[in-house]
Structure 1
Amino acid sequence: MTKKIFFFIILILCFCSITLILIAKKIKNDKNKPTTITLLNWSEYIKPELIQEFNKEYSGRFVLKQIFLSSNELAINKIKSGNKYDIAILSEYAIEQLKSNDLEKIDIQRLNNDLKEDNGKTNDLKFTSNFKNIKQKKDETEQSDIWEYNIPYLWGKLGFLYNENKLGEIKSLQQLKKILENPEHKVALYNNPFEVMFVGLKMTEGDISVNSKDDIQKSKEYLLDLKKNNPNLYFVTDSLLDRMKIPGKEHYDIVVSYSGDARYLTRENKNLKYYHFKKEEQKKTGTNIWFDGIVFPKESNKEGSYKFINFLLKKENNEKNIKFLDYNSPYSGENDDDLCKIDENDKIYKYNKEIKKEIANAWNEIYTYRDPKDKYLIFLSIFILFFYGFFYFILKK
Structure 2
Amino acid sequence: MNSKVDEAPHFLRLRDQYVPRGIVTAHPLVIDRAQGSELWDVDGKRYLDFVGGIGVLNIGHNHPNVVKAVQTQLTKVSHACFQVVAYQPYIDLAKRLSQLIGGAQPYKAVLFTSGAEAVENAVKIARAHTQRSAVIAFRGGFHGRTLLGTTLTGMSQPYKQNFGPFAPEIFHTPYPNAYRGFSSDMALAALDELLATQVAAERVAAIIIEPVQGDGGFLPAPVEFLQALRALTTKHGIVLIVDEIQTGFGRTGKMFGFEHAGIEPDLVTVAKSLAGGLPLSGVVGRAQIMDAPLPGGLGGTYGGNALACAAALAVLDTFEQEQLVERGQQLGARLRDGLLALQGRYPQIGDVRATGFMVAIELIKDDDQRSADADLTQRLIDQARVGGLLVIKCGVYRNVLRFLAPLVTTEAQIDEALQILSAALARVLITK
Q: Same fold (TM over 0.5)?
A: no
> What is the TM-score normalised by the length of structure 1?
0.26
> What is the TM-score normalised by the length of structure 2?
0.25
The structure number with the bigger radius of gyration is 1
